[in-house]
């Protein structure tokens, strides 16, 4: 990757009024606002205007991962409460998790989860713990019954029935994410049909979003930051759809940073995308040369976050600073339940 080594963490800071962090979604999925960003040119639109911004030869790529009920509460046998967030399943009865407790449990200790269910700490690697579960039966099914929707830490209310529906895309198919691919939350059935009616092609990848997406960057020099790894799968049909779009001079439009990261991670220097399963820890910062994606639909991201660095790399550092200042001034709603932006890739 080509990077801009002069940029530091502070270069990705901005003043975000807390009240602009959306705590609930719009009344309708497609009822949010849309900021179209094309360099210095900005247009304040509605999300329902999106089909008119796309061409009939374009391809829109969605992430069809499904959010699991990954947050679980338990108690150490010494009496302390434990909150765990499942990062990923490592087997039918084991998982890699993050734990929040007054004192982290030791390797070999047991956490009671209610009823006959319990988890034993097998190992620790930094902030992650490997746990083996007993008394749960199939762990995926047990989480669906007993776990909670893993709302992001900046959403302050306890998850309810509305979150179980709205913190999930309507096309979610493959369970494994612990955070939603939030740009996709804006799409409803009518919007998908409107895209098809315009002649826009639709395709899917699967990237299981990990809890690391919420981890703050701890270093000032961004080239010292190490991204967490996430699993992805790109079907052969999506590779074919990309080739077909290019053959008709269409643009690849990624819905969300997760779709973009999967496509870019799977591409060679010529932009040819390989089908199959892999992992990516791709860290995209200004200076990165994009190979596949020409347009990005995304939400508004936190200050100093890796997601903000990615959109600055895509739309241009100066353009993103201008767009975010505009969004704050115009009272756009930020983060997972907030409004959307359509970014045109910076021409270099």
By the 10 Å C-beta count (0-12 exposed, 13-18 middle, 19+ buried), 328 is classed as middle
Q: Which residues pair with 344 in a beta bridge?
A: 295
Q: Which of these, 128, 133, 134, lies nearest to 212 by C-alpha position? A: 128
- 262 C-beta neighbours (distance < 10 Å), count: 29
Tokens of 196: 């098809």
Whether the predicted pLDDT of 141 surpasses 60: yes
pLDDT digits (tens, 9 = 90+) for 43-86: 999 999 999 999 999 999 999 999 999 999 999 988 889 999 99
**SS3 assignment, position 296:** strand
Distance, in Å, from the CA atom of 137 to the CA atom of 74, rounded to the nearest integer, reads 17
- Average pLDDT for residues 247-267, to the nearest whole number? 96
CA-angle at 251, arms to 257 and 278, nearest 5°: 45
Residue 160's pLDDT is what? 92
Residue 220's pLDDT is what? 73
Q: Residue 4's pLDDT band (boundaries 50, 70, 90)?
A: low
Tokens 């988890």, residue? 119
The least confident of 116-130, 238-252, 326-340 is 116-130
Q: In what order do the strands lie in the sheet with 41-46?
A: 41-46, 33-38, 340-344, 295-299, 252-255, 59-63, 201-207, 230-234, 276-280
Please give the torsion angle defined by the CA atoms of residues 323, 324, 329 and 331, in that order, rounded to the nearest 10 degrees.
Answer: 110
| Contact assessment for residue 87 and residue 97, using Cβ atoms and an 8 Å cutoff | yes
Q: Residue 71 contacts by C-beta under 8 Å, 6 or more apart in sequence?
A: 83, 84, 85, 86, 147, 148, 149, 150, 159
pTM exceeds 0.75 for this model: yes
Whether the predicted pLDDT of 2 surpasses 50: no
CA distances in angstroms from 109 to 78, 118, 338, listed in the order given: 10, 10, 41
- HSE (CB half, 13 Å, CA atoms) of 95? 29
Tokens of 89: 């399943």
Distance, in Å, from the CA atom of 223 to the CA atom of 220, rounded to the nearest integer, reads 9
Tokens of 48: 């329902």
Tokens of 157: 């209310």
Q: Which of these, 62, 342, 35, lies nearest to 185 by C-alpha position? A: 62
- HSE (CB half, 13 Å, CA atoms) of 185? 28
Q: Residue 60 contacts by C-beta under 8 Å, 6 or more apart in sequence?
A: 54, 195, 200, 201, 202, 203, 253, 255
Residue 1's pLDDT is what? 41
CA distance between the termini of the chain: 15
Q: Which of these, 71, 64, 101, lies nearest to 87 by C-alpha position? A: 71
pLDDT digits (tens, 9 = 90+) for 154-177: 999 999 999 999 999 999 999 999
By the 10 Å C-beta count (0-12 exposed, 13-18 middle, 19+ buried), 22 is classed as buried
pLDDT digits (tens, 9 = 90+) for 203-247: 999 999 987 666 677 777 777 667 777 899 999 999 999 999 999
**SS3 assignment, position 225:** coil
Tokens 């969300």, residue? 256
């Amino acid at each position: 990757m080509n990077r801009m080594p002069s940029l530091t963490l502070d270069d990705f800071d901005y003043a975000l009024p807390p009240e602009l962090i959306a705590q609930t979604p719009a009344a309708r999925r497609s009822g949010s606002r849309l900021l179209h960003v094309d360099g210095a040119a900005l247009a304040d639109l509605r999300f329902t205007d999106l089909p008119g911004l796309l061409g009939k030869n374009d391809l829109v790529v969605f992430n069809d991962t499904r959010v699991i009920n990954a947050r679980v509460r338990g108690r150490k046998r010494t009496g302390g409460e434990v909150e765990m967030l499942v990062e990923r399943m490592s087997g039918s009865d084991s998982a890699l998790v993050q734990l929040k407790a007054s004192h982290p449990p030791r390797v070999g200790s047991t956490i009671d989860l209610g009823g006959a269910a319990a988890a034993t700490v097998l190992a620790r690697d930094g902030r992650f713990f490997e746990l083996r579960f007993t008394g749960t039966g199939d762990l995926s099914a047990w989480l669906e019954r007993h776990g909670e929707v893993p709302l992001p830490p900046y959403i302050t209310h306890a998850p309810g029935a509305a979150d179980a529906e709205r913190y999930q895309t309507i096309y979610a198919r493959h369970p494994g994410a612990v955070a939603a691919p939030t740009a996709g939350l804006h799409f409803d059935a009518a919007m998908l049909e409107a895209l098809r009616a315009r002649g826009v092609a639709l395709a899917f990848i699967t990237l299981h979003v990990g809890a690391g997406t919420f981890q703050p960057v701890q270093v000032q020099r961004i080239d010292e930051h190490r991204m967490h790894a996430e699993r992805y799968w790109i079907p052969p049909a999506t590779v074919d759809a990309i080739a077909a779009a290019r053959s008709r001079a269409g643009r690849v439009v990624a819905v969300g940073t997760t779709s973009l990261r999967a496509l870019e991670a799977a591409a060679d220097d010529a932009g040819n995308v390989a089908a199959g399963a892999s992992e990516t820890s791709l860290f995209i910062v200004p200076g990165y040369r994009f190979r596949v994606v020409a347009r990005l639909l995304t939400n508004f991201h936190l200050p100093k976050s890796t997601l903000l660095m990615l959109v600055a790399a895509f739309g241009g550092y100066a353009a993103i600073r201008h767009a975010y200042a505009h969004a704050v001034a115009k009272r756009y709603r930020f983060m997972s339940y907030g409004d959307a932006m359509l970014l045109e890739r910076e021409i270099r």
